[in-house]
Structures are given as C-alpha cells and as structure tokens.
Structure 1
Amino acid sequence: MNPPGSSGETGRIVRIGTRSSPMALAQVERVRAELTALVPDLQVLVVPVTTSGDRWQGSLAALGGKGAFTKEVDQLLLTGAVDIAVHCMKDVPGDRPVPAGTAFACYLERDDIRDALIHPGGLTLDELPPGTRIGTSAVRRIAQLARRYPELVTVPIRGNANSRLAKLEAGEADALLLAYSGLERIGESARATQILDVDTMCPPVGAGVLGLQCREDDSAMIELVDRLGSPDTWRETTAERMLLHVLQGSCNSPIAAHSSSGPDGTLSLRAMVFSLDGKTIVQAEETDGALDPVLLGTSVAISLLRQGGRELLDASAGPV
C-alpha cells in the first residue's frame, strides 16, 4: 500500500499548503529542504493561497482578527488538497482550538525571536528625533513603544515584509519595526538598523516558530513530519500558547510572551499585558524544571489575570 501523499510509481509526493507571500514561500522552502534531506526521493509540491489577511489592508480587528492568515490554508488541509499546512505560530489564534480533525505534528527549531528597527538613515530608537513615524500595526509593539519612547509616533502599516519595506521607501513611514527572522527569510537582514533585545521589545506568542499541521487521521504524514520537530521549541510554544488560550488573547491583544529552555532542562515563561497607551503593564515570570508546559502557561496567565490583565485586555478589545 502506498502511504498517504504518494503517487505510486512516480514516488512519494507531499503537498504543502501555505500563504502566498514571499516570506511564506521562503518558509516553505525551509520545510521542503528539511523534508528532502530526511527523505531524498520525496517530491514536495507547494500549494500557495492568498489569505483574507493578505488581501485586507485595513485593521485586522475589522476582520475579527481570528485566523485571518490561517483559515484558507487550513481549508486546503481539511479538504485534502494538501497534506501539510505551514503556519507562523504567531498568526495562529490562541482563543479557539485548531480546526477539528487537524493537529500540529511538530514545531521546527525556533528562529530569532527579536524585532528589528529599519531606518533609512541608520539611526537607533534612542537616536530618533521626536515625532518620528514608526510603521507598525501590532498593538504589542505600539504599547511597548508608547511605554519606552512616548515621543515617537506610530502609524498603521500592513502587508507582508516586502510590501512594508516598499511603503517605507515610498515615505509612508520614517522607520519600520519588523521581525528580524522575517527579514532573514527574505534576504533583507542587512536592512536592520537595530536588533532589539527582548527587554526592549518583548516578542509575541509563537515568535520565530513554524508549525506543521496535519490531518489527525494521516498517521503516516504525522510520523514523517514529527521527525523534523524540536523538543525545546515544542515545550516553549506549548507554554506560550496555553498562556494565550487562558488569557483568550488574539492578534488584536496587547500581549507579549517569551518562553526559553535552559541547558539544565528548566523552562521559563515571561509574559506581559499592556494598556494600548503603554502606561499600564502587568507582568509575570516563572521558571520550573518539573512543571508541565501547559501548567506553566496556565500559572503565568493566572498571575496576569490576578493583577488586572483581564481588565486591560477588555479595554483594548476592538470590534469583532
């Protein structure tokens, strides 16, 4: 019997569903390379789709913000048009379960989690003059910039990394904040003026993580994909996503979180909830070697809620 995703005489074929942006296609190239290194005779076909989040240039809140970058890719998987869906975990909603009948089979080894400043004149955040327009639509970044650099101005700017860089060149903003790993994936890391440490700009849940999603009944594909996974990334992402789930946060929520694995097997999780103006912040951090990642994420989330995190999130909620 041929395994799922095979075409018999022509060899095994795996179809991967993805967003159609240049960055997403670069991410899939990483998955293709790792799969073919594992199984040299594997044929990998890429099936791109333009998502509602890619088409929409307004606020994601107007789309509900829930799965705007994932639902069309998920649909390819559910209908059997693809065998694997590749997602940036920062785009996967945490306030609702993954589509019934699917599961994440693995998370690849984590990329750089930091944000980067891109300024045409080569300035850092500390050097930018008051009134400088920083292009970003991420409420997490907006709140943290307002907290640390209230003299700077944020302007909404959306689209994939390539289009944001083009908008910067067109003068729609004076500088940009982008994920450094994204710049690396599209070959534009040299554009980064400053790479921000996590104390300056705490990342989103799932930063730098690619998740490979399969149908639950496709055991052969799950077994294959699982061999690509990183155990540390799995633990870190599980803790972060459980925190997001307990907080019922979405991409419209001013939540930042970062889990890291220690060489001694410990797992830590630091998380923050902000007011949109950055003036109010609640934060919590725990480290435990024995605590299950799910329990760690739950514990940190409860600590944030006890400090008033729910009220901050409710105040920041946009239309759904």
Structure 2
Amino acid sequence: MVGAANNEPRTIVVGTRQSALALTQTGQVIDELKRISEKHGFDYHFEIRKIVTKGDRILDVTLSKVGGKGLFVKEIEQALLDGEIDMAVHSMKDMPYELPEGLMNGATPKRVDPRDCLIMKEGTSLDDLREGARVGTSSLRRSSQLKNMRPDLQLDSIRGNIDSRIRKLETEGFDAVVLAAAGLTRMGWQDRISAFIPVDLSIPAVGQGALGIECRREDAGVRELLDLFNDTETSLAVRAERSFLGALNGGCQIPIGAFAVVQKKAEDSFDDAELELTGMVGSPDGEVMLKEIRKGTDPEQLGRDVAAALVARGADRILAEIGDNV
C-alpha cells in the first residue's frame, strides 16, 4: 500500500466520512484520479475506507458546543499517520488551519458553488420568509449573518446529513434550512434549492465549495498524482482564506467567514495574479458584523492583512467572548 513506484501496480486507499455526500464527492475525486492515472501511465487502483469522526458521532449538540477543531477530520488524519489509508478527501471548510506533522494538503480541486442557500417550504428568496420564520442551521457563521440581515428570524440548531436536514422542514416545523450550495450540487440536488444567498450578504465559510485532498508528505507517488489534480485558481483563493483563518486562530464552529476571488494578469498564467479577499467576523446575535476587503498578490500575506484589519476593529474580543461561552 505504501511506497510503490509510479510505474508499479499500487492500490491507493482513500479515507472519507461515511455520509452520502462524503462518499459521493470521494467517488467523484476517485473518478478524476483514475482518469489522470491513465493519462500519465500510473498503474494505480483505488479503494474507499469509511471512517467515523467525532463530529459524526455527536449529533444532538450544536457544533459550537462540541468544542475543538477538526471535528470531522481527526480520526481520518490518524488513519493517514498510521498508514491505514493513503489519502483523504475532506470538505475544505472542515479542515483546521494547522495539519498534523507529516501530513499536507496535496491538492485543492476546482471549487464548485461557494454560496449558502435556502431550502424553503414556500418562496424563492430570503425576503419571502415570513416575519419570525423558523430557520435551521448548524453554523454560527450563517446564523450571525442571517440575524444581522433579518433580526426577526428564529434561528435554531439543526444537525445531520443533507437529506435529514431537508426532511426536518416537514418533521420539525422549520420554514427553511440553510445549507451549502456545493453539497447539493455534488449530490445532483440543485432543484431542491429555493434561493441562493449572495456571497456579499452571507460570506461563506473558509474553503466552502472546495475539497482538500490530504496525504503524507513522505508519499512521493501520491503527491505527484495529486499535484496533477490541483486547481491553481482554487488553491490560491483557498490559501488566502485559510491564512485568514489561521491568523485568527479560528475553526469552522465560530462566526468567521472568508471568500477570495482571483484575477489573472496574464491569460495563460496565474503568475502575479491579484486576489481580492473579503473577511468577516460577527457576533452570535448578529448585532456586530465586521467585514474587511483587501487586495494583494501573496495569498498568505493577504489573509494575515485582512485578519489584522479586523482585529484592529475588535474581532479578537468577539472571538474571545465566544470562546468563553462555549
């Protein structure tokens, strides 16, 4: 399993969570890796290993109260470190900024729709929600921004996979649930979306819509394969967003959002491409909403600059207060 040369047969074991979405996106990744392997003459075969994470086991508590970072990746990363799997497919928004020693993000494939969206009983826009409507979300980031836009809404925690959250519209009396458009897109369920929320109104989670393919640094064969799978534009954008996250020492369970757009200066190259990064930190009640937009060519420095600008406006105090209350 480990250490085969590129021209020798090798079975690559791919770790993933066991939800329908995780298995679907892992299958899509494997299909593309098979295509790349055949094109470049790698004799690689792939098998899936399902792994249950802490975030999957605890479904009756909001994510912000479960605590810690890496709720959906730690067990998978341990399997990587132990050599039980050779790569792991993660939703990038689940990945902490700091990865364990010996592991790395080997590829960031092309991003799909980064927006949040609404699945509604009635209506086709946020404005169509009745006053006092009950909206389900597991994300402090989403609830903070929704409360800022619509203080009248009743935001309640909702956990589980995509399908079970949608079913709760009927079974638990919600008027709408908020989900990532990317998950519905990968499942082929775009027709279930009632309304998209523009990124300038609901700043996405860091890396939302992107995948991270994690591997061992020492595994040259897997690294070479994943390098061919990497999408430069998505990688640049996500690097800026994750640098912002790291500078604020944040995780996916607190009201932090970031979204970067990449603009090429040359048609056939991303050399010296300019990035525009929007960063957000909000209070859980939505009353304070801090946003900064900066441009730059160094994604890591840009992330740090946007974080510093928000800290200067009090973002660190908001995050410290949240940390004390969870």
Q: Note whether the superposition's TM-score is higher than 0.5.
A: yes
Partner Cα separation in structure 2 for residue 142 and residue 193 of structure 1: 18
Contact 2:259 2:279 in 1 (8 A): yes
Partner Cα separation in structure 1 for residue 37 and residue 291 of structure 2: 44
Instruction: Report the alpha carbon displacement of residue 61 of structure 1 after superposing the two structures with TM.
Output: 3.1
Which residue in 2 is equivalent to 1:69?
Answer: 72
Over the matched positions of the two proteins, sequence identity in percent amounts to 38
Cα RMSD of the aligned pairs, angstroms, is 1.9
Report the 3-state secondary structure (helix = DSSP H, G, I; strand = E; otherwise coil) of the residue aligned with 2:229.
coil
Which residue in 1 is equivalent to 2:47?
Answer: 45
Moved more, 164-173 or 67-76: 164-173
Which whole-Å deviations, capped at 9, do the CAs of 1:175-206 have from their partners, x for residues lacking one? 11000110111221101000111112110111
Which residue in 2 is equivalent to 1:169?
Answer: 170
Contact 2:64 2:140 in 1 (8 A): no
Give the number of equivalent residue pairs: 314
Runs of 4+ in 1 over 3 A off after TM superposition: 5-9
Aligned mate of 2:289, from 278, 281, 286: 281
Partner Cα separation in structure 1 for residue 248 and residue 173 of structure 2: 34
Which whole-Å deviations, capped at 9, do the CAs of 1:231-268 have from their partners, x for residues lacking one? 11111111111111111111222111101101322111
Contact 1:16 1:44 in 2 (8 A): yes
Partner Cα separation in structure 1 for residue 197 and residue 65 of structure 2: 30
- 5+ residue gaps in structure 2? 266-272
Contact 1:143 1:254 in 2 (8 A): yes
Q: What letter is aligned with 2:37?
A: V
Alignment CA distance shift 1:319-1:83 (3 Å):
farther
Alignment CA distance shift 1:274-1:38 (3 Å):
same
Which residue in 1 is equivalent to 2:252?
Answer: 251
Alignment CA distance shift 1:227-1:279 (3 Å):
same
Which residue in 2 is equivalent to 1:100?
Answer: 101
Structure 2 matches for 1:78-97, cutoff 5 A? 78-94=81-97, 97=98
Which residue in 2 is equivalent to 1:55?
Answer: 57
Partner Cα separation in structure 2 for residue 156 and residue 234 of structure 1: 31
Which residue in 1 is equivalent to 2:313?
Answer: 307
* TM-score normalised to structure 2 length: 0.91
Report the 3-state secondary structure (helix = DSSP H, G, I; strand = E; otherwise coil) of the residue aligned with 2:276.
strand
Which residue in 2 is equivalent to 1:223?
Answer: 224
* TM-score normalised to structure 1 length: 0.93
Contact 1:258 1:269 in 2 (8 A): yes
Which residue in 2 is equivalent to 1:26?
Answer: 24
Report the 3-state secondary structure (helix = DSSP H, G, I; strand = E; otherwise coil) of the residue aligned with 2:135.
strand
Partner Cα separation in structure 2 for residue 82 and residue 7 of structure 1: 18
